[in-house]
């Protein structure tokens, strides 16, 4: 789960990593007022969960509150790599003497963490890493030992960072461990003209498997204008759902099968409307919740349920679909493909229900072709 920059900054601040004063706003008028409270001269930064904001024009300096209002007006609503800007952060500018790059990332293959650091931070760090890889230090971190002052000093020496960055390296490790993150990154970590070490930008990815330990993570804030309402509704029901820009709704069991289904639908000349993985659970409640979310998307013209029964029984899936149809008004054609464990019984259950909008297919390709055709017909 990626965080916005302003959320990452709050974590840094809570763990003793200094950040410039800032405010987050959603309108140009709010930007003007916030700039005034921050001293007038501010950096206006788009809040989106992607990189490349600076090159896209999403980070600009405003010299006065009036300029901050105008700049916010220009940035709000921008599309940056498919992410629409709905919030901007206004931060006090600082006089930078040097910029550094520091991060900790989970190395799943090695079963350890990796500290990545460079004495050359900023917007060009990716180009620097590609053209001069020797300028970027990569130091393995044993999760059993972590990063204490001695380990942080080792990382700083390897990356040619000044000694005064060592406390920030230790605190950044505490962010990773205590917040259950798989990535924490500061780019740039700067030394100001007065010698202060500040985090000017931050990226944090939290481990969703640790959600149960952090009550404040429970679902996205549905009042956040950056959260898609369908994704918020699905999350509130415990569904693994991602909204896409298509017309064929998709329900499957297992991330790999769902991803394959999306590809097959695209190959049939249609576009998937969502990713929805029900995993091993296909109860009536799960099916009803999934169908309810998908059918509330006005772009959806047909729905494809693609289930391969391994541990999951196709009979149980069919029972779930039949029961779900009692509580969900089916307004779009539903194509069901059941294969594997108990598939014959599952097909018989659906055939016995004989819902006029439910069709069956015996293969994934056939199901996708039928769902794509129905979507094009707008039946």
Instruction: Report the CATH fold assignment for 96-213.
Output: D-amino Acid Aminotransferase; Chain A, domain 1 (3.30.470)
Residue 275 has pLDDT above 90, yes or no: yes
Q: Is 101 a catalytic residue?
A: yes
Residues of the chain with CATH 3.30.1490.20: 21-91
Q: Select which of 6, 101, 104, 241 is catalytic.
A: 101
Percentage of the chain modeled with pLDDT above 70: 93
pLDDT at 366 over 50: yes
Which CATH architecture describes the domain 229-377? Answer: 3-Layer(aba) Sandwich (3.40)
Domain 21-91 has CATH 3.30.1490.20: yes
At residue 132, the pLDDT reads 77
| CATH 3.30.470.20 location in the chain | 96-213
Point out the catalytic residue in the list 30, 99, 120, 185: 185
Tens of pLDDT along 71-111?
999 999 998 887 889 999 999 999 999 999 999 998 877 77
Task: Give start-end residues of each CATH 3.40.50.261 domain in the chain.
Answer: 229-377
pLDDT at 124: 66
**Secondary structure of the chain in HEC code, one letter for each residue:** CECCHHHHHHHHHHCCCCCCCEEEECCHHHHHHHHHHCCCCEEEEECCCCCCCCCCCCEEEECCHHHHHHHHHHHCCCEECCEECCCEEEECCCCEEEEEEEEEEEECCCCEEEEEEECCCCCCHHHHHHHCHHHEEEEEECCCCCCCHHHHHHHHHHHCCCHHHHHHHHHHHHHHHHCCEEEEEEEEEEEECCCCEEECCEEEEECHHHHHHCHHHCCCCCCCCCCCHHHHHHHHCCCEEEECCCCEEEEECCHHHHHHHHHHHHHCCCCECEEEECCCCCCHHHHHHHHHHHHCCCCCCEEEEEEEECCCCHHHHHHHHHHHHHHCCCCCCEEEEEEECCHHHHHHHHHHHCCCCEEEECCHHHHHHHHHHHHHHCC
């Amino acid at each position: 789960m990626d965080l916005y920059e302003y959320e990452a900054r709050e974590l840094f601040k809570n763990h003793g990593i200094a950040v410039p004063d800032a405010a987050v706003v959603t309108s140009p008028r709010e930007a003007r007022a916030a700039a005034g409270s921050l001293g007038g001269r501010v950096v206006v930064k788009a809040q989106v969960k992607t990189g490349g904001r600076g090159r896209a024009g999403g980070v600009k300096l405003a010299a006065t509150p009036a300029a901050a209002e105008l700049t916010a007006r220009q940035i709000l609503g921008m599309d940056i790599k498919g992410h629409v800007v709905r919030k901007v952060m206004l931060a006090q500018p600082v006089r930078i003497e040097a910029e550094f790059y520091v991060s900790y990332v989970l190395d799943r293959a090695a079963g350890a963490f990796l500290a990545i650091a460079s004495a050359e931070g900023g917007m060009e760090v990716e180009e620097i890493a590609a053209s001069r890889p020797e300028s970027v230090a990569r130091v393995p971190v044993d999760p059993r030992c972590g990063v204490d002052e001695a380990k942080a000093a080792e990382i700083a020496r390897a990356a040619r960072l000044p000694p005064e960055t060592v406390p920030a390296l230790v605190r950044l490790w505490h962010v990773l461990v205590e917040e259950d993150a798989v990535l924490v990154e500061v780019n740039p970590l700067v030394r100001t003209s007065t010698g202060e070490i500040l985090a000017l930008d931050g990226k944090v990815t939290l481990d969703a498997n640790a959600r149960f330990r952090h009550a404040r993570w429970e679902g996205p804030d549905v009042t956040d204008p950056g959260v898609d309402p369908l994704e918020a509704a699905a999350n509130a029901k415990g569904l693994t759902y991602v909204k896409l820009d298509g017309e064929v709704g998709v329900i499957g069991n297992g991330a790999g099968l769902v991803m394959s289904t999306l590809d097959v639908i695209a190959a049939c000349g249609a576009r998937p409307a969502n990713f929805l993985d029900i995993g091993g659970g296909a109860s009536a409640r799960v099916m009803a919740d999934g169908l309810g979310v998908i059918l509330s998307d006005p772009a959806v013209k047909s729905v494809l349920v693609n289930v391969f029964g391994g541990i999951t029984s196709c009979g149980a899936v069919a029972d779930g679909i039949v029961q779900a149809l009692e509580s969900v008004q089916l307004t779009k054609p539903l194509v069901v493909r059941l294969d594997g464990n108990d598939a014959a019984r599952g097909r018989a259950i659906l055939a016995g229900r004989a819902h006029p909008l439910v069709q069956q297919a015996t293969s994934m390709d056939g199901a996708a072709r039928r769902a794509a055709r129905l979507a094009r017909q707008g039946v």
